[in-house]
Chain A
Amino acid sequence: MGFEGFPFILGWELTLICNLRCRHCGSSAGLSRDQELSTAEAIKICDQLPALLVQEVNFTGGEPLLRPDWPVIAAYLGQLDIKTKFLTNGIVLDHKIIHQMLELGVAGVGISLDGLAETHDFIRCRNGLFSEVLSKMKLVLEAEIPLTVITTANSKNIGELPALAELLADLGVTRWQIQPTFPLGRVKEFSYLRLSEDDYLRLGSFAVEWRAKSAETGLEILPGDSFGYFTELDDREPPWRGCPAGLFSCGITSDGKIKGCLSLPDEIIEGDLRKNDLWEIWFHPDSFAYTRQFNLNQLGANCESCSVAELCKGGCSAMSYGSTKQFHNDSYCFTGIRNRCPTPCPAGK
């Protein structure tokens, strides 16, 4: 029997063009990829999605709102009954775009915020951006478009998370995703931004503490990419059960390549939509082998002796590959760190 899953949720990098050059950007976004998809090609791809039972498309970039035809693509997907959501740095959001989003029925907006003012502006290399982004969040909230704020935790902002939580709760934000910095893309030039193991445990403690307060603050904290696994620091329900890339989701790059997830580096490509359609790529027996054909023998040194490796399958594929050039070998893992350092870590509190 062949694989019988579907890409219910699709990440789509509309363009790699970006109006920022963030130090932590895993995609090294800035300039366009060679030969990004035309509007006609994008529409042709949209036509392939209903048969694959795609329910939602999450547009990312680069900065997806810099692509002039984003309303055309979003409207077309709407006609196909496929929800659309946008991840943006917030800069170009204005009343006109918010109005367009409302008219198109955009189902959600994610905006990045990477620390308090000085840190956010440092990470994003643009002075004054912090206050600008806060004002854009207010626009989204006022329009009652569901907003999720996303923070990539790093060595500079880890101590600011409690203050950031207070700020977001005061603003009326209800959903906040936090995730560690990935060792991919531009952050390789700024490796000091990566979290130490102690800081990673500290991130886990912070999330647990603040999730307990969510009823009081109204701010739900969502552990994001590569955040876990198991132990009392990861109490999500249902628990992590391995990387979903190629099982329930996949990503389309702006030049039409298919990845299991857009966080993976460009060398991990499953196919090209200019050569094959998504159905052929998705159901090809060799596609997404790192998740679909996983077995315990593939576990790397960080995970091979772990008692829960069968459940987590070696963690986050992108973090694992970015850190070790191997899948199923994620070093950012609460259980793994505890196994390597069994004594209680003071910084974890």
Chain B
Amino acid sequence: MFPRIPLRVVPQWIFERWILVAYLIINWNIKELAEGIKVKPDKEFYAVVAKHLSAYTQEGVMPPAEIAPAILNLADDMMADRPMNMRAGDYISIQNFVRGIK
């Protein structure tokens, strides 16, 4: 089982002001998004990541072009024994790939 993957998150103070966005406003700055959200993708997402990460790190098989940067970034973390972090763009590309094969 993969651990939850940390992605960018919304700082707590945004949620403390939740009422502001119920209709309209969230008065924050996009650049202030912090690390820490725990993404819980569905089984298909994990299956794709596991399959291509494993194939790349164990057999040297390159992932499909659409997700190669994302998988290689994860592999870098994995092989350097760092916690695996996923950039928003990588997450989106994998989700788009998974959506394409559903």
| Interface check B7, CB cutoff 8 A | yes
Residues in B neighbouring A53, C-beta threshold 8 A: 7, 37, 39
| Interface check B26, CB cutoff 8 A | yes
Q: When the two chains form their complex, are residues B26 and A283 in contact, meaning their CB atoms are under 8 A apart?
A: no
Cα A11 to Cα B18 in complex, Å, equals 10
Number of interface residues of A (CB under 8 A): 52
Mask: chain A, 306-349; 1 = CB below 8 Å from B; 0 = not: 00000000001010000000000000000000000000000000
Q: When the two chains form their complex, are residues A9 and B92 in contact, meaning their CB atoms are under 8 A apart?
A: no
Q: When the two chains form their complex, are residues B21 and A9 in contact, meaning their CB atoms are under 8 A apart?
A: yes
Residues in A neighbouring B59, C-beta threshold 8 A: none
Interface of A is mostly: loop
Given A225-B25, A279-B99, answer yes or no on A8-B10 (Cβ-Cβ < 8 Å).
yes
Residues in A neighbouring B37, C-beta threshold 8 A: 53, 55
Given A53-B37, A238-B28, answer yes or no on A60-B23 (Cβ-Cβ < 8 Å).
yes
Chain B residues with CB under 8 Å of chain A are 7, 10, 14-15, 17-30, 32, 37, 39-42, 45, 88-89, 92, 95-96, 99
Known: A53-B37, A85-B18, A85-B22. 7 other contacts (CB 8 A): A51-B42, A51-B45, A53-B39, A58-B18, A108-B18, A226-B24, A248-B10
Chain A residues with CB under 8 Å of chain B are 1-2, 4-6, 8-9, 11, 26, 50-51, 53, 55-56, 58, 60, 81, 83, 85, 87, 107-108, 110, 148, 150, 175, 177, 222, 224-228, 236, 238-241, 243-245, 247-249, 251, 261-263, 279, 283, 316, 318
* Contact sample, A vs B, 22 pairs, CB 8 Å cutoff: A2-B92, A6-B88, A9-B18, A11-B23, A50-B42, A51-B41, A51-B42, A58-B19, A58-B21, A85-B18, A148-B19, A222-B17, A224-B19, A226-B24, A239-B27, A244-B21, A244-B25, A244-B27, A248-B21, A249-B26, A251-B23, A283-B92
